């Protein structure tokens, strides 16, 4: 039973979200012209379909799912497959945290520093341990990105604030980006 409920969680969450959006659509439902469909018609039609499918899946999984036989553990085809089947929630949380920190710090540290730290951090979190390769690829990678995007594609990447901005400008000058 617990397994069935666990399977049903995504559908229940989606159903609740869709119901909330359906309720929210009443704010703009009255804005249409007389005799014409309101601007809420299309999103409501989509939400109705979404709620219908979620309700069906919920009912199917919780109420009508037949009891499952005790499945014997399927032997993994190879070592790689077995390793991939294992989950690493802490690693994932660290990766998401690192990514959020990157976006937060990009405007403060500037593109070069934030990117170099992000690349190095990502490789370390990904359990890669060759320090020389990590340092070289993160610094050279950041410089290459700056050169390609600012010099060739003309994208204005964030420079950072205060001393970090001065460092970014110095790096840009060294790379010949004006």
Partner 1 sequence: MHDVLHQLSLGFLHLLTPANAMSLAVGLVVGMLVAVLPGLTLVMGVVLALPFTYGMGVTPSIVLLTAMYLSGTYGGAFTSILFRIPGEPLDVPLLWDGYPMARQGKPAQALGWTLLAALWGGLVTAVSAVLLAVPFAKFALRFDAPEYFAIVLFGLSGVTALGGASMPKALISLCIGLLLATVGVDDTYGADRFTFGVPILKDGIEYLTVMVGAYGLGEVLARMGEGFATPPMESGGKVETQLPRWREIWRLRPTVARSSVIGVLCGIVPGAGATVGSFVAYGAEAQYGKRRDKLGTGIPEGIVAPQVASTATVGGHMVPLLALGIPGSGATAVILGAFLLHGVQPGPQIFQTEAGMVYTIFASMFAAVIGMCLLGYFAIKPLIKVLQLPEAVTSAFVALFCFVGAYSARNSVTDLWMIVIFGVVGYLFERFRFPIAPMVLGCILGPVAENSFMTSMIAYKNDWTVFFTRPISGIVMVLTFLALAYPMIRHLRQALRVRHLPPGIAALGRETPP
User: Which residues from 39-98 bind partner 1, rule CB under 8 A?
Assistant: 39-43, 46-47, 49-50, 53-54, 56-57, 66-69, 71, 80, 83-89, 91-92, 95-96
- Contact of 7 with 61, CB cutoff 8 Å: yes
Mind giving me the DSSP string for 113-161?
Answer: HHHHHHHHHHHHHTT---HHHHHHHHHHHHHHHHIIIIIIS-------S
23 token code pair: 């309720």
Q: Which of residues 105-164 bind partner 1 (CB under 8 A)?
A: 106-107, 115, 118-119, 122-123, 125-128, 133, 137-138, 141, 145, 149, 152-158
User: Is the torsion defined by CA of 156, 159, 165, 166 positive or negative?
Assistant: negative
Smaller CB separation from partner 1, 115 or 168: 115
Number of residues near partner 1 (by CB under 8 A): 72
Q: Which of residues 8-27 bind partner 1 (CB under 8 A)?
A: 10, 14, 18, 21, 24-25
Q: Interface with partner 1 includes 4 (CB under 8 A)?
A: no
- Contact of 25 with 43, CB cutoff 8 Å: yes
Instruction: In angstroms, give the least distance from the CB of 122 to partner 1.
Output: 4
Residue 21, SS3? helix
Smaller CB separation from partner 1, 66 or 163: 66
Smaller CB separation from partner 1, 75 or 156: 156
């Amino acid at each position: 039973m617990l397994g069935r409920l666990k399977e049903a969680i995504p559908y229940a969450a989606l159903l609740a979200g869709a119901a909330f959006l359906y309720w929210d659509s009443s704010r703009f439902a009255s804005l249409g012209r007389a005799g014409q469909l309101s601007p809420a018609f299309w999103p409501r039609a989509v939400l109705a379909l979404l709620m219908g499918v979620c309700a069906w899946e919920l009912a199917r999984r919780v109420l009508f799912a037949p009891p499952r036989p005790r499945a014997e553990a399927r032997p993994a085809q190879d070592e790689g497959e077995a390793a991939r089947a294992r989950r690493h929630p802490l690693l994932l949380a660290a990766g998401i945290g690192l990514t959020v920190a990157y976006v937060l710090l990009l405007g403060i540290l500037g593109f070069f520093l934030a990117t170099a730290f992000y690349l190095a951090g990502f490789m370390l979190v990904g359990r890669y341990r060759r320090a020389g390769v990590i340092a070289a690829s993160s610094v050279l990678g950041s410089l290459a990105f700056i050169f390609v995007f600012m010099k060739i594609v003309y994208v204005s990447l964030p420079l950072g604030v205060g001393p970090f901005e001065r460092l970014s400008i110095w790096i840009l000058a060294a790379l010949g980006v004006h």
